[in-house]
């Protein structure tokens, strides 16, 4: 059977074995390529340490963004719940007043019936849900005294307003239910992101964790260097301002009382802000060491915006709850002019905030698994800084 086949070169071998027929060789090549293709992803599937670090950081940032949405939903839900409770109390009070008005009208109808001043069915309107149709009967209205007509008008008005309030309360309850659903969704999103970050970290070997710690140490060193650089820059600017102020004071003194004195407004404003900032910073320092907990506003734990809100509240300044609202709650200033007490916001989506303490440093609640601490504002690189806002 094989004699009709052409002879094959004897020198072509694969791993010391004579090369099979072309079709078989093709199949073998496909199989080998297939094995290689299957083996390669196993090696490539495992991300590099840098990729793991980036993924974990991204997950924490996403969790922080979801936390802000959770905080906003929680605040909205609380306001709506308060509104619903107020409406329900109002409806209850109106219903009580309506019942009292009904009783008063019932006593009028009974008295008229006893004296024969009205037809026996005068009292029946009191049992109707909408008595206005009965009140419109001219004969009945003509028989009522002025006081009775006032009572009837008051009853009808109260009934109409009560029905409106009941409808408003029903709609508000529906809105509250929707807000509670949104709150649960935001909470679930945060929990998912944090669980994914923890899972990634749990897969690292001890050696990889050590390398990751070394990378973090390098990042902190670079952040500290950047903070020192900013501190020197700000010190130089302050020195220039002080010298300019001294020259201005000297000029004002030599000109006698003819000076306008307008320069006193800025120091006064700075002094007022510094007083408030000192109180905010004193509060923030007292929280160092307390754990980050998403959605927390103290006193035992905080998330980033919960800490800044509580710190400035201690200084008598009310800030909104979320980072993307706090960023609009003051005056934006250049980073080079940042003063202690200013709020430093991070990332394009404004998902993190800390309170500036000077010299390129801040106090903040970093992320889950960490504690409130002092840290360079360059902890995630200079490009991560979004803006600086002076809240008071």
Active-site residue list = 304, 352, 364
State whether the Cα torsion 376-380-386-391 is positive or negative: negative
CA–CA–CA angle 34, 38, 44 (5° rounding): 140
Do 289 and 371 form a contact (C-beta atoms < 8 A)? yes
Write out 296-339 in H/E/C secondary structure: CECCCCECHHHHHHHHHHHCCCCCCCCHHHHCCCCEEECHHHCC
- Distances in whole angstroms, Cα of residue 174 to Cα of each of 75, 84, 169, 245, 305: 17, 10, 9, 61, 29
CB atoms within 10 A of CB 31: 10
d(CA 339, CA 341) in angstroms, rounded, equals: 6
Q: List helix spans (H) across the chain.
A: 22-45, 49-115, 132-135, 138-143, 146-202, 206-254, 265-286, 304-314, 323-326
- For the residues of 166-234, what is the DSSP string, one character each? HHHHHHHHHHHHHHHHHHHHHHHHHHHHHHHHHHHHHTS-HHHHHHHHHHHHHHHHHHHHHHHHHHHHH
User: Rounded to whole angstroms, how far apart are CA atoms 43 and 24?
Assistant: 29
- Cα–Cα distance between 289 and 267 in angstroms, integer? 35
Among the listed residues 237, 238, 234, the one whose alpha carbon sits nearest the alpha carbon of residue 226: 234
CA angle 191, 197, 199 (to 5 degrees): 100
Q: How many CB atoms lie within 10 A of CB 124?
A: 12
Cα distances (angstroms) measured from residue 98 to each of 91, 109, 158, 160, 239: 10, 16, 6, 10, 73
């Amino acid at each position: 059977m094989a004699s009709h086949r052409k002879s094959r070169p004897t020198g072509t071998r694969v791993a010391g074995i004579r090369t099979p027929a072309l079709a078989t060789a093709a199949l073998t090549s496909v199989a080998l390529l297939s094995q290689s293709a299957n083996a390669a992803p196993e090696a490539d599937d495992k991300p590099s340490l840098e990729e793991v670090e980036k993924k974990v950081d991204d997950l924490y940032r996403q969790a922080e963004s979801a936390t802000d949405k959770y905080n906003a939903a929680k605040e909205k839900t609380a306001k709506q719940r308060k509104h619903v409770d107020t409406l329900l109390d109002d409806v209850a009070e109106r219903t009580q007043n309506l019942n009292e008005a009904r009783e008063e009208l019932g006593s009028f109808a009974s008295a008229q019936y006893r004296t024969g001043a009205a037809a026996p069915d005068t009292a029946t309107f009191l049992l109707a849900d909408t008595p206005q149709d009965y009140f419109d009967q001219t004969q009945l209205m003509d028989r009522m005294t002025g006081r009775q007509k006032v009572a009837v008008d008051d009853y009808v008005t109260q009934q109409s307003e009560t029905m409106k309030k009941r409808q408003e309360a029903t709609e508000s309850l529906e809105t509250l239910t929707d807000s509670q659903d949104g709150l649960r969704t935001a909470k679930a999103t945060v929990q998912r992101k944090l669980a994914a970050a923890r899972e990634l970290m749990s897969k690292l070997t001890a050696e990889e964790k050590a390398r990751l710690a070394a990378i973090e140490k390098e990042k902190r060193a670079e952040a500290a260097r950047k903070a020192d650089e900013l501190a020197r820059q700000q010190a130089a600017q302050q020195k220039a301002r002080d010298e300019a102020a001294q020259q201005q004071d000297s000029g004002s003194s030599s000109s006698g009382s003819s000076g306008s004195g307008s320069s006193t407004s800025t120091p006064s404003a700075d002094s007022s802000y510094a007083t408030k900032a000192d109180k905010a910073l004193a509060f923030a320092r007292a929280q160092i060491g307390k754990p980050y907990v998403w959605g927390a506003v103290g006193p035992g734990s905080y998330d980033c915006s919960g800490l800044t809100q509580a710190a400035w509240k201690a200084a008598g300044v009310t800030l909104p709850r979320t980072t993307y609202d706090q960023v609009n709650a003051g005056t934006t200033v250049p980073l080079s002019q940042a003063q202690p007490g200013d709020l430093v916001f991070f990332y394009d989506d404004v998902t993190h905030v800390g309170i500036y303490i000077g010299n390129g440093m801040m106090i903040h609640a970093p992320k889950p698994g960490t504690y409130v601490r002092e840290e360079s504002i360059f902890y995630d690189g200079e490009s991560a800084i979004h803006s600086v806002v002076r809240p008071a």
